[in-house]
Amino acid sequence: MKHTPYFTQRKMSFASFFKLLIFTIWLFIPAKSTAQSRVEIGVNKNVELIMAMQVLTDMDSLILSSGFSGFPITTRLDFTLKNEYLNFFSPYKMSEPIKYFNKLITKGFIFGLPLTIAVLSDEELCLTNTCWIETLPSPPYPADFRYKVEGFLEMAKHFMEISGFENFFNSNLPVYDNLVTLQQNKISLESLVCDMERFFNKKLTGYHIVLVPLMWPGGMSLSSKEPCYAEYGETWILIGPKQVVNGLPDFGTIDEYSSVVVHEFCHAFIAPVCDKYKEKIMQFQDLYASEQKVFRRNGIHNWLDAVNELITRSAEIIITSGGDQKMKESKLLMQTKELGFRYLPELVQAIDKNCYQLGKDFEEAFPEIIATFNKIKSQQHIDG
């Protein structure tokens, strides 16, 4: 499979994940510099615990064999830290917490759900917010899903105790700190955020990047909101490494890293607008079928999530190109030809025209952007 660079909760058909409330700053190992004060970057202790458990489960094989997605959750890169995780925690593969985890996986507790719960929990592994659970569709999620999630967190506590995770994590603090420093030195995250805020004409209350060494080469986006029904809030993105440099997991070249950061943060701006225009978006849901193979390979299982992803990719191309026409064309060609997102050219053109040439606000221009799908649909009828 040709991996796409970025994957988000929207692509997992868990639309309610953008209504999350996250208070885990005390679990975060942030960069020491305050130069990028609005954009925190670090490693999350709870996420590392869940990843230590997840690599021992059957999740990757189930995801791939079921066709839920075309990529695994765990990185396939080989580096020292990953091997240390595997060697240290493998003796607990048949422990009760892992058996419980595997049982939940068969009930839909897959993909980004465990990591979502990790960042939704405090240092005592207690949920800080549950409104998102109530919005999960039943079926497929059982009515007692919250109870099962809380049971999972109890098992995670037990795993932490029996495996010695605390000592393992603390012994690797210098490694985590090094990863954070290396990424922070690549590019001004504050500058990237300013570019996005200018594009959307909107500011979020906080931007947080969580580096996840064991995760696949992409990302996922979570938005924290208070109250739960608020449209916008703080945003946390989880990112996995794309390569190994000097024995350490590395989160991509400057361009790759910038693109995934912009992509994932863009979801937080775009998802609420998609929700607002859901009825209009769903008028074109027939367009999902012709691109179903590409969408499903990327974990996108419905048309609303597909539109969210397509517009996010379009915005990412425009923002990261910085007005360079040749760069924009190159990025668009890669996304269209190599990754298979054939609807992007028309969307990029529509956003360019409405947001730049006509100077409209993104949300003001959104109906015109969505109308692009009508043109695509008409062209498909002409082509037969």
Q: Annotate 97-151 with DSSP letters as a single string.
A: HHHHHHHHHTTT--TTHHHHHHHTB-TTS-BS--HHHHTS-TTTS-TTHHHHHHH
Nearest one of 222, 187, 226 to 208, comparing CA atoms: 222
Q: 3-state DSSP call for residue 382?
A: helix
How many CB atoms sit inside 10 A of residue 247's CB? 10
d(CA 200, CA 329): 21
- Listed in order, strand segments (DSSP E) in the chain are 28-30, 39-44, 207-211, 219-224, 234-239, 243-245, 248-250
Here the contacts of 378-383 (C-beta below 8 Å, separation 24 or greater) are: 380/287, 380/290
Cβ contact 49:39 at 8 Å: no
Which of the residues in the chain have pLDDT under 50? 1-26, 31-36
Q: For the chain, what are the domain ranges? A: 9-250, 277-379
In the structure encoding, which two tokens stand for residue 294, read together?
């590409």
Q: What is the 3-state secondary structure (H, E, C) of 90-103?
A: HHHCCCHHHHHHHH
DSSP state string for 282-296: GGGTTHHHHTHHHHH
Q: At what angle do helices 325-333 and 303-321 cross, to 10 degrees?
A: 150
pTM of the model: 0.87
Cβ contact 24:54 at 8 Å: no
d(CA 294, CA 309): 12
In the structure encoding, which two tokens stand for residue 286, read together?
């027939």
d(CA 58, CA 101): 9
Residue 315's pLDDT is what? 96
Tens of pLDDT, residue by residue over 219-253, are 998 876 666 777 787 788 999 999 999 999 999 99
Tens of pLDDT, residue by residue over 12-35, are 333 334 334 333 334 555 544 333
